[in-house]
Amino acid sequence: MIEVTKDLPRSADGLAMDWMEVPFGPVFPGLPGGLKLTLTLDGDGVTEGQATSLVGMINESDEGKEIDAETFIERLASAMPLASVSYRLLACLAIERAAGLENDSATDQARAVALECERIASHLGWLAQTGRQLGFAWLTDRAATLQLEIRRASGKRLVELTPALQALAARLGRTPLLKSRLKGIGVLPSGTAGLSGPVARAADDAGDAWARLWQRLDEIITSLDYIKATGEPGLPVLRNIGRGSGTGEATVETPRGEAQLSLILEHGQVKSYRLDTACNHHIGLVATLVEGRELGDALVAVGSLDLSPWEVLV
C-alpha cells in the first residue's frame, strides 16, 4: 500500500488520494451558460479552481477596421445578452461624446430609467439561477416570472409590481435554511482589489453570498423607487452625430458593476475602441473563493458573483 500511494498528493487530513480535475459547465444548473468552471477535487473538497468564458468578446478593435456607429452599437448590445441595454447606453454615450454632443436631460432621464429596469430584471434572473442551484423551485419560478414581466412592463406597471417584489424579498428573509446555506460562503479577503457593483457594495457588509443576495434585493427596491420618481423608460438610441469625429469615453454602472468604453470616431465611423467590464475582473476571484472549500460551497460561492461570461473579455 505504501508503494502504491507514495507518489499521490496528500489531502488536508494527510491521506494520499488521487486528485481529479473536473469541469463544470458550460451548461450546469446554477451557473450561467457559457461559463466553464474547472475544479481540482480531493474527494468532495476543492484544492484549486479557475473559471473561463467560452463566449467572451474581444476588448479592443483591430486597427484600421472602421465600423459605422449604429452598427457598432448594435454589435456591442448583441454581444452582451444579459445586459444589452447597459452596453447600448455605454456605446451611445461614448460615440455622442466623441462627436461633441452636449447632454440632453430628457434623453438622459429616459435612458436612466431603462437602465434601472434592466438592473431589476438582471437581479431577478440571478435569483432564479440561485434558486435552481439551491433547489428552491418556488424561487426559480417566481423570480423568472417577475423577470419576464419587468422586461415588457411600462413605468407605471413597474411601480405596480413593487408589492410583489417586496413580498419576494420578505419570503426570502424567512425561508428556512437559506441564511445558513449562504452565510459565511464566498467571503472575499479584506482589501480585495478590482471589485465593482453589488459584489463591491456587499463587501462593505459581510462580503459573503448572503450579503450579496441582500445587496441585490436592496438594489431592486432602490431602482423601483427611482423609476417611480422619474418616469417611463426609453431604449437608448444614438442621437444625430452627423459625420462627427473625436475621442469619447463613457462609464455605465451595469447590473454587475462598472463598464468603461473609450473609442475614436472618424466621420461617423468607429475607428478603434477599448472596453473594460466588471466581470472581466470578478472572474479572477474564483480561484480564491473555491480553494479549500467543499464542492457544494464552492459552487454557491461562484454563483453568488453573478458572472456573465459574455462580459468577460478575451
Cα atoms in the 13 Å half-sphere on the side-chain side of 180: 3
> Do residues 98 and 247 make contact, with C-beta atoms less than 8 angstroms apart?
yes
Tell me the CATH number at 154.
1.10.645.10
Domain-located, residue 8 = no
Q: At 104, is the secondary structure helix, strand, or coil?
A: coil
Identity at 238, one-letter amino acid code: L
pLDDT at 185: 97
Domain-located, residue 139 = yes
CA 314 to chain centre: 16
Cα atoms in the 13 Å half-sphere on the side-chain side of 127: 29
Closest CA to 197 of 182, 185, 212, 187: 212
- Rounded to the nearest 5°, which phi and psi values hold at 10? -95, 135
CA dihedral 63, 66, 70, 75 (to 10 degrees): -50
The set of residues, in sequence order, having a beta carbon less than 8 Å from that of 286 and lying 6+ positions away, is 37, 49, 50, 51, 302, 305
CA angle (302 as vertex; 301, 308 as ends), nearest 5: 145
Domain-located, residue 253 = yes
Domain-located, residue 259 = yes
Which domain, by its residues, includes 166?
Answer: 67-275
Closest CA to 127 of 45, 44, 219: 219
Q: At 220, is the secondary structure helix, strand, or coil?
A: helix
pLDDT in tens, the chain (314 residues): 445 444 555 555 555 567 899 999 899 887 889 999 999 999 999 999 999 999 998 776 655 689 999 999 999 999 999 999 999 999 999 999 999 999 999 999 999 999 999 999 999 999 999 999 999 999 999 999 999 999 988 888 988 999 999 999 999 999 989 999 999 999 998 889 999 999 999 998 999 999 999 999 999 999 999 999 998 999 999 999 999 999 999 999 999 999 999 999 999 999 999 999 999 999 999 999 999 999 999 999 999 999 999 999 98
- Rounded to the nearest 5°, which phi and psi values hold at 274? -140, 135
User: Which segments of 174-208 does DSSP mark as H helices, in order?
Assistant: 178-182, 197-203
Domain-located, residue 266 = yes
Between CA 94 and CA 302 the distance in angstroms is 32
Domain-located, residue 95 = yes
Domain-located, residue 86 = yes
- The model's pTM is 0.92
Q: Which residue has the cell 413605468?
A: 155
Between CA 259 and CA 285 the distance in angstroms is 18
Between CA 19 and CA 273 the distance in angstroms is 43
* 226-256 tens-digit pLDDT: 999 998 999 999 999 999 999 999 999 999 9
Domain count, the chain: 1
Domain-located, residue 116 = yes
